[in-house]
Each structure stands twice: as C-alpha cells, then as structure tokens.
Structure 1
Amino acid sequence: MCHRILLAYLKQFTHSCNRRVDFNCLVYGAANSIPVLTMMLFTSQDTILDRQMTSTEGSLYISLANIGAIIGTPLAGYLVDYLGRKRSMIVCVFMPLISWSLFVFSNKVEVLLASTFIVGMGGGMFVIIPAYICEFSQDSIRGTLASGTLIFMILGILISIVLSEFMSYKTITYIGLTASTIGVALLSVLKESPTMLLKRGLDDEAAKAMAFYRNSKPDSKIVVQEIEKAKQALAPQIEENIPEEEKLTAEFGKKPEEKLSKWQFFKNSKSTQRGLFLVMTAMAAGIFQGMSVIQSYSIPLFSEAVPADVLSPIWCTAILTGLNLVSALVAGYLTDIAGRKVSLVLIPLLIFSNPHSHSYISCR
C-alpha cells in the first residue's frame, strides 16, 4: 500500500514538474530574460540589429513583456474554461515559440519589440498551470507542485544568464527555439484535467485521467473519492445565513436553482471576495517592492555599481537570480510544510528577493 502511494506521489511530481509543464516555464523564463541580457548591446553603436535602438525603444524593449502579460493573463483566464486546461496551456506556450522564432530570424528593431510583447502574452500560463496542477495533485504536495511553475521560470532565467557569458546571442536563440519546440510537443500528449472533463460531462474520461495521476484503477476507492470531491468543487455553495431547519424544510417542493454567472457568484460569495482581496494585496505588496524593475535593469545597474574587473554585470545578475531561486524554493517548501497561513505571514519577509512568491498561496 505504501509502495503504491509513493509511486502515485512520484508520478505526479515527475509528470507535472520535471517532464512537461515546468519545462515550458523554464523556456518562458529564458525567453523573458533576453531583453535584459541584450538591451545594452542593442542600444549601443556595436548593435547587431539593422539599426541602433533609441533610449525610448530600449525602455519599451524591457517593458513590453509586462504590457503583454497585462493582456495575456485575463485572456488566459477566459480560455482556461472555454478551451480547457490543456489547450489553453498549448496556446500560451506557443507565444514563447513565436517569440524565439522572431529572435532567430529577424534583426529588425520593430520585430524584436513585437517578439518581446508576444512572449509577455505567454505569461498567462502562470494562471493556467497552477489551476491545472491543483485539480489532480495530492493535497499534501499541491503547493510544492504548483510552486514549480515559478521555480522553473526563475531557473530558466538563471540558465539564460549563465549561457550568455559563454555563448553568442544567436546561439542562445537557436537553443531557445529548439527547447520551445520540444516543450510544445510535450504538452500535446498531456492529459486533460479531470475537473475539466467533468465539466464537459465526460465522467469516464475524468476517472481515467485521475487514475493515471493516482497510479490506480479508474474504479478504485481513491479515484472515486477524488472524482466526488471534484464534482463538489464544481457546484460550490454560496454562504447563506439561513438556519439549518429552514434549509431542510425548503428542500421539499424546491424548484431547480438557476445557474449563477461567475459575476453573480462572486457578488454573493464572501469567501471568494476575501480570497481575491488577499491575493491582490499580496501581489501589490510584491510589485511595490520594486524587484521587478531591479531585475529588468540589473545589468546596467551592476555595470555602474560594480567595477568590471571585480565582477562582471552578468555574474552579478546571476547571483541576484540565484537568490530569487533560493527564496522561491523556500516559499514552495513552506506552502506544504508550514501551511498557507504561515506562508502568507512569512512570504512578505522573503518577498524582497522573490516578488512572485505570493502566487503559492493561491493553491488551496
């Protein structure tokens, strides 16, 4: 019995993190780091582009990824229910693939600005992937698995930074394009989320998908229990201050309830409102720490602050990213070991080195 449980845990971890989903997060992180690594080169007279970038274009080159994320993230929130988890992830990972292709085959300033915007739109995967993972993973390792998205994104940034010290810009873009193509292929054979299959009325397919992740049979007890739990999650109850006796009396002769829209449910659900306020507050706190700006302009900042003969700006940026990675690992570990509440209190203390760590608390 313990052997089967261990296999189920291992299968979930290797399947969702190491082999497919998080590999695409790594590729996204590497693509997202290209503007940081090349801005000084492209704005200098030694540029390899068709012309030198102006200072305004250089600022846009750094910022357009964030602007793309503003558009891509709400769009991903819509697609995740319309297309399903798997197809939505494929749409998002196509964005870095397109961006890498533009980096490889074009040297025009306008095209590179567009590629930066496109890769930012792929940031919607950080809405979809945690939702996908949380719908089939064990409760005891859910936070760790979901935290892999940001951990691997930071790891991708770190790998790209280190490679830039030893390889040319073109070589890195060819590697990125190859890796992105592999990532799309890996996702194409991924199974759909059991919860999404239940929403479509495909109960048998949902049981098979859950059995795959639980390393069990579709009719086993644990799979049946998880499917019932997922069905309950699909029909959430709005909090009402009605005595239990009145609820029981009202059930007789009760008409079928009208299905509430998402906005109507949000207005009537106090717990959902509190959860949104909590996450938005944590996100705002992380952004106002200013680490995103420091990361974006880290190479120019370190080139001014640290003499090149002491330590190169690339290695200074690598150290900064390494600290990001350590804090992400700590935050992901605390999410499951110490609980969400403890993580919520401690994460602001770590947020100076990883402003994205607030995302871990969203995995219930």
Structure 2
Amino acid sequence: MNGIVVQILTAFLLAVPTLMVGVGNTWPSYTLKTLEREDSPLGHQITKSDGNLIASISMLGSLSVILFVGYILDKIGRKKTEILSGLAFALAWSVITVGKSVTQILIGRFVLGIGAGLHFAASVVYISEMSQPSIRGPLISINSFAYNIGTLLSYTEGWFCSYEVINYLNLTVAVGFVLLVLCIKETPVFLLRNGKDKEALSSLKFYRGKNTATQDILDELHYIRSQLNNENAIDSPETHELSEKEKLKENEIAQENITKQKGVWETLRTSRASRRALTLLVVQVLLSICMGMLAVQAFAGQFFSQAAPSLSPDLCSVILAIVMALSCGMCVLITNLIPRRVLMISTCILSALCMTCAATMLRWAWAPEWGIPLSMLFFCMFYHFGLVNLPFVQISECILPQINSFVTSMIMSSMMLGNFVLLFLFKPAVDVLGLDGVFFLFAAIGFVAALVSTLFMRETRNVPFEVVQISFERSCFYRGYKYVNPIEH
C-alpha cells in the first residue's frame, strides 16, 4: 500500500478518540434533560448540582493525568498509550451504560476525561513521529476536524436515539478503536530511542509503504537518529551517498549515543533553542485560548439568546457546530498550502476583527440582529483555519524529538488550565464588563497574538529542522532565514 495512504489512514484512526471526546463533551447538553426528568433512566431524578458535576468532572479527569502523559509516552510507548486511552473510553462508557446512580455516572465521566487526557498528547506525538514532513501539518489538523464531527454526531444521537442506544453506540466505537489500533506499528522514533533498530526499520517501512529497506528508508532512519543524537547540523551531500552497508554500520555505532541521551530537564537547560521554542508555543496556545473560542462554544445557546433573542438558540448552536466542522475540514486542506506565519498572523487578525465587529454591534446596535451571529460564525471559521492547530503542528517542527512527549504534555496542560480559567471567569467577566466589553477584550488579545506571531513565530513549512533550531538559538526574535532547503522524505 502507498505510504501516504498508510499515514492518512493511521491519522484518521488516531482521530477516532478525538471524535469520542467531542461526543462525550456534548453528551451532557441533551442527556441531562433526560436524567432530570421524573422518568429518568437511572430510576430517580437527578438534581441540578448533580447535573453540573456530571458535565464538568471529565475536565478534572483530563487534568489529573495530563501532567504525567509525557512520562507515560516515553515509558510504554505511543501505541500502548493510545491503547490505554481506548480502554479508558471503553471502561467509561461501560460504567455509564450499566450505571444506575449519579456516583456511577460521575466515575464514568471522570474515566472518560482520563482517556481524553491520555489521547490528546499521544495523538500529536504519534502522528508527528510516524508521518513525513510534507503531510505532517494536515494530518495533525485532522484531530480538530474529528472533534467537531464528534459534536455534530453527538447532537444527531441526541435527537434520534434513546439514552441507552447512545451509550451502547459510544461503547461500540471505543471497543472498535482498541481493536483497530492493535493493527498499526509503534513509531520509529520511540523504537530507536529504546535501541530497537530492527523494529524501527520495520515501522518506517510500514509507514512509508515499502517492503524492503530502500536507500530512502535508510537515509530517513539515519536522519531520525542524527536528531536523537542532537546532531543538528545540516547533512552534507556525502551523507546521502552512503551505501546501505555503510549506513547500517554507522547506525550501530550511533546507537550507543542514543541510549545515553540527556534527560528532559538537562536538554532544556542546555538547549536555548528548545527553551525559546517551548515558551513561544505555550504563549501562543494561551493567547489563542484567551481569544474566547471555547467560551463562545460552551455558552453558545445562552450567548445567542442574549445577543439575538428572536433567533432559535438551538438552531444557532447547530449552525455554529457545522461551520466549525467545515472550517476544520478546510484547515486540513490549507495547512500545507499557506506558510505557517502567514496563516497564523492572518487568522489572528481576521478573528479579532470579527470579534470587534460583534462587540460594536452589541454596544451601538448599528446592524441587523442577525449580524451578531454572522460575525460569530466568521470568527469561528477564521479561528479554526489556523489558531486551533498551528501551535501543535509546530511542536515537531521546532522541538527536539527526545523531549517531544514532555513538551506536548506541557502544552496540553497549559491548554487545559487556560480553558478552565477562561470558563471559570467568563460569566463573572460578562457581569462586570458586559458581553460587549468581554468581546472587546477578546479582540484585543487577538491583536496581541498577531503581534507576538509577527515578532517571534518561526516559519517552519518546508524549512529544515536544523535551520529552525539555529534561528531560535541565535535570537528570540524572528529575523528570517538566509538558507532554506526543503527536506522531503
């Protein structure tokens, strides 16, 4: 099978848990109404406080595990972590399906959050390590597309299926994922780090669609090994002219260095480029969160009721979900067509302009009522074109492979903490500043994000990893590149 096809199918398979997270996060929006009725499937009516806890406890589950995901990924591997995530989803839906008390539902939702926390970090690392650079960006972007498809599927389940059928469907998907993920291979990077040369070669052949160890495969294996050895100088032409026998001999000699790699903290202490790249990615993620996308999504119904009272909140919420899914689908297509910096800066500015437009309409009522939801739809569209994915796409393009797992877990932790703070402060901020004031604040943060990207963000599309590292090493500011040589594997 063609290598590109294998990588695309693997990325779609690894997006299944993301789809399940979208389903799980939307599940309370229609299920709580059923559980709060007198004829509740649990046999008793739950309280409003129980409902609030059911809706939010999955986030606590994610936070409880996300700090340790980097260690788990490096200890048991990317594939086993994804299997563990799938088993957590299956266990969660099993408990929810058979549960007849609020406590059982809460346990199921908490375990669901654990599965989500394991998967979010594992999927980014897995895809970045098994894919070739030319399609890495679009493959990572599939995750956000799958999440929004999951929300749409969840709404559909809620409209047409009973409580029991919904739970069994979700359990079936979780079990199916665990069975399918057994068919794929561990990433070459993890196998090389653990001294499993033959397995790494077999894995690389699998993901490149080759039956034999061609010269291209050996060259790529050598390149991965050189990155693990911190040999970040651009390869000389002679490197690519090594014979297969010489390459294998060189790999055996280099293996001793890989097994003596520095620890994560030692690498960060000695690598100025890694520290600067990590700081930039965390700042970009936090700024993108503070632009208010999650708040708009979480409080969509209430927001539309306040902003446009004559329009159906449910209809607006569904339209919003459709727009986000289509936008993420477009993002998959354009991620590798537009330079990373251009895409990030333009989406920050366009999103901020849409938020400014909505804020002015709320403050001065200068446009028809439908203008506010329309501005929000465009905001969501531009936001999902770049802001959702680009920081995660750039992890593998800016960060050394040996600390990839740790950095991913750090960024995920920052994202979840930022989401929690945003949702916690959103309603009090609206009470103090008004909805229009909060929107003005979101817009200002968007312009700040554009400025930060302009000053510090590196262009990584078709740029060798070594060139990006040298740029971070020389200065925290982006000054362009004197030399760009696309690396194609």
Q: Using structure 1 for the length normalisation, give the TM-score.
A: 0.83
Alignment pair present for 1:188 and 2:179: no
| 2:31/2:158 contact within 8 Å kept | no
How many residues align? The count is: 339
Instruction: Name 2:280's counterpart in structure 1.
Output: 278
AA in 2 matched with 1:26 = L
Whether the 8 Å CA contact 1:51–1:109 is kept in 2: the answer is no
Give the letter aligned to residue 393 of structure 2. Y
Alignment match, 2:326:
326
The 8 Å contact of residues 86 and 175 in structure 2, kept in 1 or not, is answered as no
Identical aligned pairs, as a percentage?
26
Q: 1:55 to 1:285 in 2, by over 3 A?
A: farther
1:23: Cα distance to partner? 2.5
Query: Partner of 1:152 in structure 2?
Result: 146
Aligned match of 1:168:
162
Q: 2:191–2:199: 8 Å Cα contact kept in structure 1?
A: yes
Q: In the TM superposition, what are the counterparts of 1:1-364 in structure 2 within 5 Å?
A: 7-14=2-9, 16-18=10-12, 20-43=13-36, 45=38, 47-123=40-116, 124-236=118-230, 259-299=261-301, 311=312, 313=314, 315-348=315-348, 349-350=350-351, 352-353=379-380, 354=384, 356-357=388-389, 358-364=391-397
Give me the whole-angstrom Cα distance separating, in 1, the residues matched to 2:98 and 2:185: 33
> Which whole-Å CA distance do the structure 1 matches of 2:297 and 2:89 have between them?
20
Match of 1:332, SS state, is helix
**SS of alignment partner, residue 336 of structure 1:** coil
Aligned-partner residue type, residue 330 of structure 1: M
Q: Specify whether residues 108 and 185 from structure 1 end up closer, same or farther in structure 2 by C-alpha distance, changes over 3 A only.
A: same
The AA in structure 1 aligned to 2:214 is S
Contact 2:124 2:392 in 1 (8 A): no
| Cα offsets for 1:104-133 (capped at 9, x unmatched) | 111311221222221111222121112111
Task: Return closer, same or farther for 1:108/1:25 CA change in 2, 3 Å cut-off.
Answer: same
Q: Which amino acid aligns with 1:162?
A: T
Normalised by the size of structure 2, how large is the TM-score? 0.63
CA deviation vs aligned residue, 1:257-296 (integer Å, no higher than 9, x gap): 9742211211222221222222212221232233324433
- What root-mean-square deviation, in Å, do the aligned CA atoms of Structure 1 and Structure 2 show? 2.8
Shift of 1:238: 8.8
Encode CA deviations 1:8-42: one digit per residue, 9 max, x unaligned.
2223212x133x22223223322232123323443
Segments of 5+ residues of structure 1 without an aligned counterpart are 240-255
Pairwise CA distance, 1:212: 1.3
Letter in 1 for 2:283: T
